Chains A and B, each alone.
Chain A
């Protein structure tokens, strides 16, 4: 989708690849200069439906991201729009509407937006009451489905930290029921909605994002497999592939995920202070980024850079970590495998683009139908 910011040449602070005037957002997402960009980033659009008041979704998504990683384009009483793309494995676009979503607002080119999207997340403020929001949600889902039937629809019932355990479950169950009933009434049973209870304060929002993002990664089974092999051969207890900017993990091994997420901001925060060169050049997270955090419960948290967006985070027992050399060798093998996985992905996308361009040149086939992409 085209972006007004691209046209005016606004770049992100510290952005190593500033936008050229007129450069479309889509072009930036297909970043072939980086072999690990996975070709096409998973693209997520967040729609926040709130009754009134200040936009709140920014804080939830961009909580703890630095200003140079986020970009807020417009913030009127009507719409608040934001974007995270640079430096992140995932591309997020955020639209925050008070009251109704105005499908006729020129700034909200919903067809363009929905066409290029993998997942549409509706964020409902549980403190606002969800019944009205669900009704508006339905309208949007219907339109989006018409434009792109492959979108996965996700609903975050947000700010549930204020609710008791039973109330939470009841809220989730009730809203799911209502939404499905409404869809059935409209004859749209084939649309599937997933519901998540989220709160900024207990990582449930990042867990929910993880699940949504994982649906959009075709390489996921391979990544999980690689992680399994890596941890079993290294004596590691658990490993995650984290997107450094959004703090969302895109893959983990098959052992159960115990929501014990340690606040890894500490690594990036410290790197911001000491990790840039004297003239301010460089990025806090680079090829040599690594961290070893020793915890008193005899666990070591080991972080290592994998790609410019992704870090491997492992939990290792202290005595196992003494064989650091073995772990590092295995990590190197793992890293080479990840490169290959993403290279394949990139080749597929490249060939698709070439085909696309060829098509445009040739135009329609002699009988008038457009050529079909393989």
Chain B
């Protein structure tokens, strides 16, 4: 299915407005004062051309499904987008086109502009790349620039397109890459993830990335724990509402599947998208069998909650009332933190 160039361009233009929130800030500019209620964090998304950066961000933030990303064209220079996250947090994503000409620019004329005030650097490696040395060279150039301009930035390396690797090779190949990257990154530290847009590994990586950016995450976790204990839940998950990334969780006993968070994110997000294709959106869900009952519902204006119960004697009505009552408490938490943590951007 070949799209014409003009269609491709249209797709990219559609990508922008979908993600932008009305903050009134012109793209790429510096030195603006933000409204008090928002806190802004700069996230750099870099990597060679075709490594999958735009696809990833469109799936996580712009409600694309994996198949839709086929239509995306090459990113020209830097694409800026502002993604409102958890109400009072704004992720300022810099999706830096990876073609050689742009890359050269980033490290020379645009260097300070790009690498200043960075909270998170995400570097994407195409696992199938035939130019490993060149990839590493660019990566190191990024690290140098980061060291000079934003030494406290958190660094994430995503080894992407893992679906193209044979299943029995994946762990081995990822481990090798991870060791190389850790070594190369010194003295900076990097967290490595293996990802693919075709499964839940994408959600795991982005959940971890976003988790680093949430200002009050410990407080959130503490409150979630109290809530879970009061209602006698086995597990409680908190999702960011638009992306369905898990931002906090509490479990009171060991669960069988260590990868369940990203799987659940993926499952629910896919369901949500399939509903929106039918001009419906899902509001809440209750799923049960003889061993469990799970309740997924809107929680605060920016979050969804999932409560997992394994005690069959607790009627679902009771759990639903408990969730409803807890809402007010968590809404207050969100509101309280907002105004206190405004930030002036230089």
Contacts and interface: CB of A to CB of B under 8 A. Distances in A.
A114 to B, nearest CB: 35
B264 A270 contact: yes
A267 interface: yes
A289 B288 CA distance: 5
B166 interface: no
A266 B268 contact: yes
B283 A271 contact: no
Which DSSP category, helix, strand, loop or mixed, fits chain B's interface?
A: mixed
B291 A291 contact: no
**Contact residue range for chain A?**
35 or more
Interface in B139-183: none
A161 B260 CA distance: 32
A260 B282 CA distance: 14
A291 B286 contact: yes
Contact of A296 (B255, B274, B282, B285): B282
Given A262-B278, A270-B264, A277 B285 contact: no
A134 B263 CA distance: 42
A23 interface: no
Contacts of B256: 276, 278, 280
A240 to B, nearest CB: 15
Contact of A288 (B284, B285, B288): B288
Nearest to A270: B287
Interface in B33-67: 67
B226 interface: no
B285 A294 contact: yes
Contacts of B284: 293-294
A267 B268 CA distance: 10
A274 interface: yes
B280 interface: yes
Interface in B51-87: 67
A281 B260 CA distance: 18
A214 interface: no
B294 interface: yes
Interface of B: 1, 67, 235, 255-257, 260, 263-264, 267-268, 270-271, 274-275, 278-292, 294, 308, 310
6 contacts: A162-B1, A273-B257, A274-B260, A282-B291, A289-B288, A295-B275
Given A270-B267, A293-B284, 15 more contacts: A201-B67, A262-B278, A263-B271, A263-B274, A263-B275, A267-B287, A270-B264, A271-B287, A276-B256, A287-B290, A288-B288, A288-B289, A295-B281, A295-B282, A296-B282
